[in-house]
């Protein structure tokens, strides 16, 4: 067996190949990304072959070109490759060879490479998320202007005609000319974003109709087309998470644990890393679920934890239980139940 380490960049890649005995059979060589045939010719004599690439904007095209040629593609988590990141002396040649040798030593933290369909879904979802984030920032700027003159408008009303009318009638007399102009400009920008967001919402719904897992996830109160598609994009195929705990950990919903010597295990905060898209979706889904299904077992669990530990802890703990239920649903193909779903063997 051979292992090729590829240090991929925007315009070129550096490739080094080692054998299973650790011998460097191909010294690091630079190939432009436009020279696909040259890359294939370089790798072809070495079979069976594994290719190791760090996560970066350049990995998808390598995956698409090499996976169909019977080459096992290994995507390495760049942030966890501390050996490379903390090297005193770094170069593309060293990184490429070190990637291959780390793979032989079993030291590569792997990441699941999304299929081209999942990457397209992710682009759509992230595009919508960024536009919604920009709209939220503009709404917050208007709220800040109202707070400056001692006024308060409930969250959510600002995006309604009733909310705008309230600002025009109640707040307008208290605002100076510059504040009025500022708010008008924010509204104008929001009006430009609204049709774009609605267009993306329609695309999300249309894309979700083609994915069975999305329809399954939409049976959960609080999970609509957008959240369902996001969970399916980030978590499928569900078989790569052997247990519900693996999905919980991947979503960054499992608290940190530390233990040394004879000291007992201590649990801390949730990790800053992991998949922030999944974590945010599960946590926000809990808020919506409690509002739409206050009598469900999940909402009751949230309320019990909230009374004891507060809403911040309750949201994360309930999101953890929701992730476990979602894992069971995707494994069994069962829709949402008022009672916890039994995990498949």
**pLDDT of 61-86, one tens digit each?**
999 999 888 899 999 988 887 766 56
Q: 285 — phi, psi (to 5°)? A: -65, -35
**Across 16-34, average pLDDT:** 94
Instruction: Write the CA distances from 343 to 49, 162, 223, integer angstroms.
Output: 37, 46, 20
pLDDT of residue 318: 96
Element spanning 51, H or E: strand 49-54
Q: Is the pLDDT of residue 345 over 50?
A: no
- By three-state DSSP, how is residue 76 classified? strand
d(CA 239, CA 235): 9
Question: Which sign, positive or negative, has the C-alpha torsion 274, 129, 219, 240?
Answer: negative
CA atoms within 13 A on the CB side of 339: 2
pLDDT value, residue 83: 61
pLDDT > 60? residue 344: no
Give dist(CA 83, CA 337) in Å, integer: 46
Cβ(81)–Cβ(35) below 8 Å: no
272 pLDDT more than 60: no
| Mean residue pLDDT across the chain | 90
Asked if residue 117 lies in contact with residue 19, where contact means CB atoms within 8 angstroms, the answer is no
Query: Confidence band (pLDDT; 50, 70, 90) for 156?
Result: confident
At 150, the pLDDT band (50, 70, 90 cuts) reads: very high
Tokens, residue 179: 């504040």
User: Quick check: 313 and 267 in contact, CB under 8 A?
Assistant: no
Task: Give the DSSP letter string of 14-41.
Answer: EEEEEETTS-EEEEEEEEETT-HHHHHH
pLDDT of residue 44: 92
Model confidence band, residue 273 (pLDDT cutoffs 50, 70, 90): low
Sequence-distant (6+) residues with CB within 8 A of 47 are 2, 70
Res. 270: pLDDT tops 70: no
Query: Could you give the percent of the chain with pLDDT greater than 90?
Result: 81
- pLDDT of 240-267, one tens digit each? 999 999 999 999 998 755 545 545 555 4
Distances from the Cα of 283 to the Cαs of 104, 277, 311, 336, in angstroms?
38, 10, 11, 17
| pLDDT tens, residue by residue, 193-224 | 999 999 999 999 999 999 999 999 999 999 99
Whole-number Å distance between alpha carbons of 151 and 143: 9
Q: Where are the alpha helices (DSSP H) in the chain?
A: 36-43, 59-67, 82-85, 92-104, 116-148, 161-166, 177-208, 212-217, 225-235, 244-250, 276-292, 297-309, 311-332
């Amino acid at each position: 067996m051979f292992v090729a380490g590829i240090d991929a960049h925007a315009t070129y890649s550096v490739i080094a190949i080692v054998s299973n005995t650790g011998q460097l059979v191909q010294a690091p060589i630079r190939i432009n990304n436009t020279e696909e045939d040259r890359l294939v010719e370089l790798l072809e004599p070495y079979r069976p072959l594994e290719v190791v690439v760090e996560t970066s904007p350049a990995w998808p095209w390598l995956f698409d070109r090499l996976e169909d040629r019977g080459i096992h593609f290994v995507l390495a988590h760049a942030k966890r490759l501390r050996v490379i990141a903390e090297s005193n002396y770094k170069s593309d040649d060293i990184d490429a060879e070190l990637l291959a040798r780390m793979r032989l030593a079993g030291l590569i933290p792997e990441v699941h490479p999304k299929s081209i369909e999942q990457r397209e879904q992710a682009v759509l979802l992230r595009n919508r998320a960024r536009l919604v984030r920009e709209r939220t920032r503009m709404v917050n700027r208007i709220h800040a202007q109202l707070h400056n003159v001692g006024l308060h408008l409930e969250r959510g009303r600002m995006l309604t005609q009733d909310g705008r009318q309230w600002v025009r009638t109640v707040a307008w007399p208290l605002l100076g000319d510059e504040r009025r102009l500022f708010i008008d400009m924010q509204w104008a920008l929001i009006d430009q974003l609204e049709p774009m967001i609605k267009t993306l919402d329609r695309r999300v719904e249309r894309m979700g109709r083609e994915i069975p897992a999305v329809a399954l996830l939409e049976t959960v109160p609080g999970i609509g087309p957008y959240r369902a598609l996001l969970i399916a994009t980030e978590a499928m195929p569900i078989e790569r998470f052997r247990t519900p705990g693996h999905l919980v950990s991947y979503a960054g919903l499992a608290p940190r644990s530390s233990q040394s010597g004879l000291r007992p295990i201590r649990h801390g905060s949730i990790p800053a890393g992991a998949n922030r898209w999944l974590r945010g979706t599960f946590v926000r889904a809990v808020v919506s679920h409690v509002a739409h299904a206050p009598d469900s077992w999940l909402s009751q669990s949230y309320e019990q934890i909230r009374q004891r530990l507060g809403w911040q802890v309750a949201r994360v703990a309930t999101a953890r239980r929701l992730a476990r239920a979602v894992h069971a649903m995707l494994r069994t193909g069962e829709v949402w139940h008022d009672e916890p779903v039994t995990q498949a063997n």
